[in-house]
Amino acid sequence: MKYLYSGPISGVTLADGQEIMLFPGKEVEMPEDHNYTRTLVALGYLNPQPASVAGVATSFHTAEQGA
Protein backbone atom coordinates (compact mmCIF):
# COMPACT_ATOMS: atom_id res chain seq x y z
CA MET A 1 0.00 0.00 0.00
CA LYS A 2 1.18 3.54 -0.68
CA TYR A 3 1.55 6.04 2.15
CA LEU A 4 2.68 9.63 2.50
CA TYR A 5 5.47 9.79 5.10
CA SER A 6 5.70 12.78 7.44
CA GLY A 7 8.24 11.72 10.09
CA PRO A 8 11.98 12.29 10.36
CA ILE A 9 14.37 10.95 7.70
CA SER A 10 14.74 7.28 8.48
CA GLY A 11 15.27 3.84 7.02
CA VAL A 12 14.12 0.36 7.87
CA THR A 13 15.04 -3.17 6.86
CA LEU A 14 12.00 -5.45 7.04
CA ALA A 15 12.26 -9.08 8.11
CA ASP A 16 12.14 -10.21 4.47
CA GLY A 17 15.29 -8.15 3.75
CA GLN A 18 13.49 -5.30 1.96
CA GLU A 19 15.14 -1.95 2.70
CA ILE A 20 12.93 1.14 2.72
CA MET A 21 14.12 4.74 3.02
CA LEU A 22 11.67 7.19 4.53
CA PHE A 23 11.79 10.89 3.65
CA PRO A 24 9.31 13.51 4.90
CA GLY A 25 6.75 14.54 2.29
CA LYS A 26 7.50 11.56 0.03
CA GLU A 27 5.27 8.66 -0.97
CA VAL A 28 6.44 5.22 0.11
CA GLU A 29 5.24 1.66 -0.55
CA MET A 30 4.92 -0.30 2.71
CA PRO A 31 3.33 -3.66 3.52
CA GLU A 32 -0.05 -2.86 5.07
CA ASP A 33 -0.05 -5.81 7.48
CA HIS A 34 3.48 -5.25 8.88
CA ASN A 35 3.91 -4.26 12.56
CA TYR A 36 6.32 -1.43 11.69
CA THR A 37 3.84 0.02 9.21
CA ARG A 38 1.08 -0.11 11.82
CA THR A 39 3.37 1.62 14.34
CA LEU A 40 4.18 4.46 11.92
CA VAL A 41 0.47 4.86 11.10
CA ALA A 42 -0.37 5.00 14.84
CA LEU A 43 2.33 7.66 15.35
CA GLY A 44 0.84 9.68 12.51
CA TYR A 45 3.98 9.37 10.34
CA LEU A 46 2.26 7.39 7.57
CA ASN A 47 -0.99 8.46 5.91
CA PRO A 48 -2.64 6.09 3.40
CA GLN A 49 -2.80 7.49 -0.13
CA PRO A 50 -5.94 7.17 -2.25
CA ALA A 51 -5.98 5.02 -5.40
CA SER A 52 -4.28 6.64 -8.37
CA VAL A 53 -6.25 9.40 -10.06
CA ALA A 54 -5.58 7.88 -13.49
CA GLY A 55 -7.23 4.60 -12.49
CA VAL A 56 -10.29 6.37 -11.13
CA ALA A 57 -10.60 8.60 -14.22
CA THR A 58 -10.33 5.60 -16.54
CA SER A 59 -13.05 3.73 -14.65
CA PHE A 60 -15.35 6.76 -14.76
CA HIS A 61 -14.72 7.33 -18.47
CA THR A 62 -15.46 3.67 -19.25
CA ALA A 63 -18.72 3.82 -17.29
CA GLU A 64 -19.78 6.90 -19.25
CA GLN A 65 -19.11 5.21 -22.59
CA GLY A 66 -21.19 2.17 -21.64
CA ALA A 67 -24.26 4.24 -20.74
pLDDT in tens, 8-63: 999 999 888 999 999 999 999 999 999 999 999 999 999 999 876 544 444 444 45
pLDDT value of residue 24: 96
3-state secondary structure of 15: coil
- CB-based contacts of 40: which residues, under 8 Å, 6+ apart? 3, 5, 7, 30, 46
pLDDT value of residue 39: 94
pLDDT value of residue 66: 52
